[in-house]
Structure 1
Amino acid sequence: MSWLEVIHPGVQSSVQDSGRRGYRHHGLAAGGALDLISFTWANKLLNNPRHAACLEIMLGGFRAIAHGSLQIAITGARTSVAVNGEPVELWRTLNLNDGDELTISHSVHNRLIYLAVAGGLDSPEQFGSRTVVVREKLEGRGPIKAGDKLVPREPQRKVPSREVPAHQRSDFSSEVVIGLIPGYQYTQFQRSDILRLTTSSYTVSDQSDRMGFRLQGKALDCPPPGIISEGIAHGSVQIPGDGQPIVLLNDGQTIGGYPKPGVVPILDCSRLAQQLPGDRVRFELCDLATAQNQRRLFELHYQNTRWCQNGQALEWL
């Protein structure tokens, strides 16, 4: 059996898959990988099942030792990765041999790094998912600690060397533009406030985490008053009394009483989740059909493409 021994987990590392479904009415957050795009590519590189569990590493600073031979893939934030002190590239497959030391440096540009192993990570499954929501404090569902073993679900099988084409990698270098699908209390907001929300630039607050991202910028003048608490979707944009938007993410609460002009599409939430405090974000209005089509194309690309023999591109089946 092959596995990775965690020497240092970094700021926070946790096992994440694509999240739980059908349990929000019990008060359980969906959880799952914050950056669905990087998470999905890590699994695609290894031909893993679509929802296979990976390790989500926040801000890097991770170190582990391989026991036996492993094939892994690392995607996400721009950072330095090394095996036995020798630099290696992200967004590609990587072979580890027994005794190899994997080091992922601290990221200074983005937030999240994903480490996948061939076959996916094996960990306890609860409520139909292996995802970890730290704040829920479910038994045996905490962050990764030094000394933990990261064990693949399946015996290791090597795939040919592969690399995500440069034009298909996430670009985290520019101001992030995220869509806003009108909904919830949209019609109760003043037109001037909707214009302010969708024409202003905001910065990510240091009070941002897996529950939600607080944004700072031009406050809305007259948001509607608080409402009776209601169910909240992933990506909902809350406007509390200070007029500053909060985008709720994977570990967000399931109900809330702040008014909401709309919802950010999941793929845009992935781009937002990679941003660090001080990074700039801008909203733009989008329609539901466009967001749905983008998500459908994203899922079809995973299911209906295969790697070319040279491992440098994909082709549609």
Structure 2
Amino acid sequence: MMLEVLQSGPLSLLQDKGRFGYQNQGVTTGGPMDEHAYGWGNWLLGNDLNSTQIEVTLGMASFRFHATTYFALTGADLGASLNGKPLSSWFSYHAVEGDELRFTRPVSGMRAYLSVHGGFRVSPMLGSSSTVCREGIGGLNGDGKRLEAGDNIPFSLSDSRINTKVPNWAIPDYDSPLEIGIILGSQQALFSEDAKKTLFSSFFTISQHSDRMGFRLEGQPIIAERYDVISEGIGFGAVQIPPDGQPIVLMKDRQTIGGYPKVGTLSALGASRLSQSRPGSEIKFTPLSVSHAEAELRLFQEVIYRR
């Protein structure tokens, strides 16, 4: 049973939760840019929480089902349709052999997640199917290549009666003003009070030079008092400040170590929300406590795990 790629669009990648335990060897985690949308996709279908999905960026992709299954769409509205019938995100649907799923252009958000009941059956590399093109690892054949027209992705036959929708309270509005919290970190002492006031009072614009490795921001410079810091490990959502003062938010395909000062980090759910914002969008930062970030993540995980 296969899903055939008819058109891959700008970037369609196989992703599970990510590749963990290898950052000390220089291998990044990869994984879904939007953990929130990915998690709800598995919840809709009752899948294992690490099931492989397809992350479709910016649309213009199409697929053909070669077996009966249930599938779910979460994340961005990329103008999806099944055999020409429009589909909404955050729902599960039934497909039979020969059905064609198409994405057009973004209506809201940047990244949609396509999951099938039971997950796509892909052999893991270093414990994960996540595709990291820069490192040449993961994906359909383990070589880190993006999906291309003609690829066939295996999945298991399923005709289970699934008919679910993500609760309204959990569906984000990707068109609302973007305000994301930063947890100030151990290197905040490298930034003056004036620099931190600038960080929390300014609007930044997402640069065209943003990708799965990092989101570059443009705005009033945030200047560190020194830059001669020892390189250390970098987590998802870390906000590093290079000498030009323009913040970079490190995302899923980030390098594993870095030596630029880091003023703090976004929460995982905050970085997920950022990943759905297109270049040219404005973002404002607010202070975020560890306890508040943990409470948000706990609520999300409790609902996802509970099914």
TM class by shorter chain equals over 0.9
| Identity fraction in percent | 37
- 8 A Cα contact 1:223 1:259, kept in partner: no
Query: Could you say what the CA RMSD is over the residues aligned between the two structures, in angstroms?
Result: 1.3
Distance across 2 between alignment mates of 1:3 and 1:59 = 23
1:221 offset after TM fit, Å? 4.0
TM-score (norm 2): 0.95
> Which residue matches 2:209?
207
User: For structure 2, which runs of at least 5 residues remain unmatched after alignment?
Assistant: none
Q: What letter matches 1:106 in structure 2?
A: R
Q: What letter matches 2:97 in structure 1?
A: D
Summarize deviations over 1:105-153 as a string: whole Å, max 9, x none: 121532101000000111120111111111001352211111111211x
Distance across 1 between alignment mates of 2:241 and 2:300 = 30
1:304 offset after TM fit, Å? 1.7
Q: What letter matches 1:216 in structure 2?
A: E
Residue correspondences, number: 303
> Which residue matches 2:83?
84
Q: How does 1:181-220 map onto structure 2 within 5 Å?
A: 181-220=183-222
Q: What letter matches 1:299 in structure 2?
A: Q
Summarize deviations over 1:48-99 as a string: whole Å, max 9, x none: 0111110000101111111121211011112211111121222111111111
Q: Does 1:151 align with 2:157?
A: no
Q: Flag the 1:244–1:6 CA change in 2: closer, same or farther, 3 A.
A: same
Moved over 4 A (4+): none
- 8 A Cα contact 2:9 2:61, kept in partner: yes
Summarize deviations over 1:148-170 as a string: whole Å, max 9, x none: 11211x43142331112223211
Residue 140 of structure 1 is aligned with which of 125, 139, 143?
A: 143
- 8 A Cα contact 1:223 1:239, kept in partner: no
> Which residue matches 1:70?
69
Summarize deviations over 1:2-25 as a string: whole Å, max 9, x none: 221110011110100111111110
- 8 A Cα contact 1:13 1:143, kept in partner: yes
Q: What letter matches 1:151 in structure 2?
A: P
Q: How does 1:302-317 map onto structure 2 within 5 Å?
A: 302-305=304-307
Distance across 2 between alignment mates of 1:82 and 1:109 = 15
- 8 A Cα contact 2:206 2:278, kept in partner: yes
Distance across 1 between alignment mates of 2:301 and 2:239 = 24
Distance across 2 between alignment mates of 1:65 and 1:43 = 21
> Which residue matches 1:309?
none
Q: Which segment drifts farther, 235-244 or 219-228?
A: 219-228
Q: Does 1:123 align with 2:126?
A: no
